[in-house]
Amino acid sequence: MDIAVVNGKVFRGGSARGTNLGFWETYAEKNQLFANDGTGKFTDISPANEALCGYWNVARGLVCADFDNDGAPDLLIAPIGDRARLLKNVAPNRGNWLKVRAFDPKLDRDTYGAEIVVKTESRELLRVLSPAESYLSSNSAVAHFGLGKASHIQEIRVKWPNGQPGSTEIFPGGPVNQNIVLRRGEGKSQ
């Protein structure tokens, strides 16, 4: 998973000039994007991503969601003193993906705090359903898994957020590049 960061100083004194941000101009910074190399190390790829990082702004909110439902996460940036920006993910070689929604039918709601593990033939990927990842912003209630070249899901484990014994369920795997909804009580208890 890569990391996108929207920026804006807390104290005045920035070096931005000519941004048309008025009062906010000296708080402005450029956004940043870091690529994960797969070993837990990140490389700053901001200079190569002008649409996200090539301008000064004072941003606080960032939402990562698949707005156009094509399997690739897009970014919505909410800056101060400027219009919101929706950036469509147009990466040419994005690989396979899976989007998982964990739902509790008894509570009739998404289960924020659920830990979802997707197992492929070569690795396990973990996501925690957490909508609150940026200031005054809410992400989708869907866990997005970038699968690379994996062509099949072996199984999906969900640890439901109540902490009770038996709160982990295993669901069967299946094809990649799809949206699925896992309902509590329909998996095999672990």
Into how many domains does the chain fold? Answer: 2
11 and 83: one domain? Answer: yes
Among residues 45, 63, 87, which one ends one of the domains? Answer: 87
Residue 59 β-bridge partners:
79
Among residues 35, 62, 87, which one ends one of the domains? Answer: 87
Among residues 57, 87, 117, which one ends one of the domains? Answer: 87
- pTM of the shown model: 0.85
93 pLDDT tier (thresholds 50, 70, 90): confident
168 and 140: one domain? Answer: yes
Residue 106: give the domain boundaries: 96-189
pLDDT at 98: 98
101 and 145: one domain? Answer: yes
50 and 103: one domain? Answer: no
The more confidently predicted of residues 42 and 29 is 42
For residue 124, give the H/E element and its range. Answer: strand 124-128
Residue 42 pLDDT greater than 80, yes or no: yes
**pLDDT tens-digit profile of 100-150?**
999 999 999 999 999 999 999 999 999 999 888 777 788 889 999 999 999
Residue 75 β-bridge partners:
64, 87
Mean pLDDT of 142-159: 96
* 166: CATH: 2.60.40
Residue 43 β-bridge partners:
35
118 and 54: one domain? Answer: no
57 and 107: one domain? Answer: no
Decide if 121 contacts 147 (C-beta within 8 A).
Answer: no
39 and 81: one domain? Answer: yes
Tokens of 80: 């101060």
76 pLDDT tier (thresholds 50, 70, 90): very high
Rounding to the nearest 10 degrees, give the CA dihedral for residues 154, 131, 180, 182: 80
Q: How many CB atoms sit inside 10 A of residue 14's CB? A: 19
